[in-house]
Amino acid sequence: MTEVALFGAGRIGTIHAGNVASQPGVKLKYIVDVDRAAAAKLAGQHGAQTADAEAVFDDSAIAAVVIGSSTDTHADLILRAAKARKAIFCEKPVDLELDRARACAEAVQSSGVVCLIGFQRRYDPTFAAIKARITQGEIGKPEMLIVTSRDPGAPPVDYIKRSGGIFKDMLIHDFDVFRWIMEDEAATVYATGSCLTDQAIAAAGDIDATAVTIRTRGGRLAQINTIRRAVYGYDQRFEVLGSKGMLQAGNHRPTEVTLWSSGAITADKPEYFFLERYRAAYQMEMAHFVDAITNGKPVRTTIEDGIKALELADAATTSWREQRIVKL
């Protein structure tokens, strides 16, 4: 039995707990959270026990840790896990600061532990099928990428203040998708944006709508548009145009019901938010992590990917703030 500890008993921790528990040959042993009641409740559901971080790192039976606690704890937990030679599954971002994130990457590299960063979109059935079909040459060379990435509603302003800004909090996933799909690195980044939905976000020094353009070293083009509030829901689409065709990722819907009424033909809105939309992706991601730690398979979303996405988020933030094109 591979024994695993989970940090974080909130929304995403709850998802990961279920996915760890359902892996054959894996035992969810500890759940750690500053909110002890939440940890105890989640532990109870999966026959696990609560613990503090020290107990986890001291337990030599623990093979891996899953870090789903708040962003400001990530770097510390990664460093301690690397030192204790535990495999690491860590939610994005590695850290809000590039320096600390790079220090984590170095620690991971020198200790040699398996480390997966939670870019779950790469494991989504629709997104992964597109990647596979590109790899098989179905659309030739990718030339343009258009990403639409919109949330159904903004988080509380308190969250936004600690989030590192929209580019690190929200677009970091899109930057990772860009690198993964285009298989090319950014040469220039241009970002603009506005606060369109709630002026409290502007007051907090952030924006809620962005338009980003990346030109790659190979001259390929990518555009990303984001907003914190799309009234019709969580919109997660992209299109990649290649020399031989285009592949398009559509939204997933709760049902395949269509209503033909006296007014219009209507279909379901997209799956409500990321927990619903990426349910299968989170399962596949955890299965991949277990595969990596038990069978030595190389990890598909590395800490280096985490650094690279953060670099793009930093560049975009600079472009927006300084109103200039940023070269990388």
Report CA dihedral (183, 313, 81, 274) to the nearest 10 degrees.
-80
User: Among 100, 255, 244, 98, which residue's Cα sits nearest to residue 168?
Assistant: 98
Q: How many CB atoms lie within 10 A of CB 280?
A: 15
Q: 243-278: buried (b, 16+ CB within 10 Å) or exposed (e) per residue?
A: eeeebebebbeeeeeeeeeeeeeeeebbbeebeebb
Smallest distance, its own copies to C-beta of residue 12, A: 20
- Binding flag, residue 102, its own copies (CB under 8 A): no
Smallest distance, its own copies to C-beta of residue 184, A: 12
Smallest distance, its own copies to C-beta of residue 321, A: 13
DSSP 106: H
Contact at 8 Å (CB) between 188 and 214? yes
Site for its own copies in 105-164 (CB under 8 A): 125-126, 129-130, 133, 138-139, 143-144, 146, 148, 150
- Binding flag, residue 88, its own copies (CB under 8 A): no
Site for its own copies in 14-73 (CB under 8 A): 22, 24, 45
Work out the burial of residue 207: count CB atoms within 10 Å of its CB; fewer than 13 is exposed, 13-18 middle, 19 or more buried: buried
**Between 143 and 305, CB nearer to its own copies:** 143
Separation between Cα atoms, residue 177 and residue 284, nearest integer Å: 17
Smallest distance, its own copies to C-beta of residue 242, A: 8
Smallest distance, its own copies to C-beta of residue 68, A: 21
Task: Select the span of 27-35, 60-68, 237-245, 300-308 touching its own copies (CB under 8 A).
Answer: 237-245
Please count the residues of this chain forming the interface with its own copies, following the rule CB under 8 A: 70
Smallest distance, its own copies to C-beta of residue 188, A: 7
Smallest distance, its own copies to C-beta of residue 110, A: 39
Token pair in block for residue 77: 């937990």
Q: 12-47: buried (b, 16+ CB within 10 Å) or exposed (e) per residue?
A: bbbbbbbbbbebeebbbbbbbbeeeebbeebbeebe
Token pair in block for residue 17: 């707990």
Task: Single out the residue of 210, 301, 302, 317 in contact with its own copies (rule: CB under 8 A).
Answer: 210
**Between 25 and 296, CB nearer to its own copies:** 25
- Binding flag, residue 91, its own copies (CB under 8 A): no
Binding site for its own copies (CB under 8 A): 22, 24, 45, 125-126, 129-130, 133, 138-139, 143-144, 146, 148, 150, 188, 190, 192-197, 209-211, 213, 215, 219-223, 225, 227, 230-232, 235, 239, 241, 243-252, 254-269, 323-325
